[in-house]
């Protein structure tokens, strides 16, 4: 009789352990980084005070800001990357200064942006080369903001 009841009890204990494990893990993750949410207050960085990459002008950054936010060249960047560039479930954070596909230089960012457009035609708007230049400078600028 005793052996019969220990099996279901052990199974029950294992089940409870499995149930509580993911919750403990989620709590740990929350301490490190807040969950990505589009419901945070998304503040558009001020294009007039953002840093300007060398070889570019304030006009590039200001125009890039307009492209990024759909006010020029039908740019759609902020739809996926957020008004503040900090990301949504559909596009990653571009402000952290860490890039998966490049070293974060304007030149390399430009290459990534052009490549994105090649794999997803129409998703990035109607960008002319000068718009790509400007928006690459803008992405550099938002990834070099003062904390
Ligand atoms: C339809 C959604 C969408 C739009 C619109 C979009 N992006 Fe993205 N973007 C993504 C996603 C998703 C990734 C990540 C792709 C990956 O890692 O494979 C990405 C990656 C990037 C990267 C590379 C990030 C890295 O870590 O290296 C840059 C830079 C970038 N986007 C800039 C832009 C710019 C500038 C625009 C507007 C011209 C734009 N994106 C429009 C979804 C979008």
Asked whether residue 131 falls in the same domain as residue 65, the answer is yes
Residue 6 has pLDDT above 60, yes or no: no
Q: pLDDT tens-digit profile of 53-100?
A: 999 999 999 999 999 999 999 988 998 899 999 998 888 899 999 999
Nearest CA owner, ligand 1 atom 30: 113
pLDDT of res. 40: 84
Asked whether residue 88 falls in the same domain as residue 135, the answer is yes
Contact residues of ligand 1, CB 6 A cut-off:
75-77, 79-81, 90-92, 94, 99-102, 109, 112-113, 116, 123-125, 127, 135, 139
pLDDT of res. 89: 84
pLDDT of res. 118: 60
Q: Which of 123, 99, 122 is nearest to 111 (CA)?
A: 99
Asked whether residue 66 falls in the same domain as residue 25, the answer is no
- Considering the chain, what is the average pLDDT of its residues? 80
Residue 50 lies in a domain: no
Ligand 1 centroid, distance to 24 Cα (angstroms) = 32
Residue 48 lies in a domain: no
| b (16+ CB within 10 A) / e for 7-42 | eeeeeeeeeeeeeeeeeeeeeeeeeeeeeeeeeeee
Domain residue limits at 2: 1-34
Q: What's the pTM?
A: 0.79
Asked whether residue 30 falls in the same domain as residue 62, the answer is no
Residue 126 has pLDDT above 50, yes or no: yes
Nearest CA owner, ligand 1 atom 39: 77
- Count the neighbouring beta carbons within 10 Å of the beta carbon of residue 50: 21
Question: What sign has the CA pseudo-torsion 51, 53, 58, 60?
Answer: negative
CA distance 15 to 5: 16
CA distance 122 to 143: 25
List the CATH number of the domain containing 98.
1.10.760.10
Residue 46 lies in a domain: no
Over range 7-14, report the average pLDDT.
Answer: 51
């Amino acid at each position: 009789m005793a052996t019969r009841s220990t099996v279901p009890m052990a199974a029950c204990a294992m089940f409870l352990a499995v149930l509580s494990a993911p919750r403990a893990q989620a709590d740990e993750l929350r301490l490190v980084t807040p969950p990505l949410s589009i419901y945070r207050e998304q503040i558009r960085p001020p294009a007039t005070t953002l840093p300007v990459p060398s070889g570019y002008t304030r006009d590039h950054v200001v125009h890039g800001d307009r492209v990024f936010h759909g006010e020029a060249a039908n740019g759609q960047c902020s739809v996926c990357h957020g008004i503040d560039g900090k990301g949504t479930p559909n596009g990653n954070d571009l402000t952290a200064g860490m890039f998966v596909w490049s070293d974060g230089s304007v030149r390399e960012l430009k290459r990534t942006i052009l490549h994105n457009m090649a794999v997803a035609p129409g998703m990035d708007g109607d960008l002319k080369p000068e718009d790509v230049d400007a928006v690459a400078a803008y992405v550099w600028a938002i990834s070099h903001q003062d904390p």
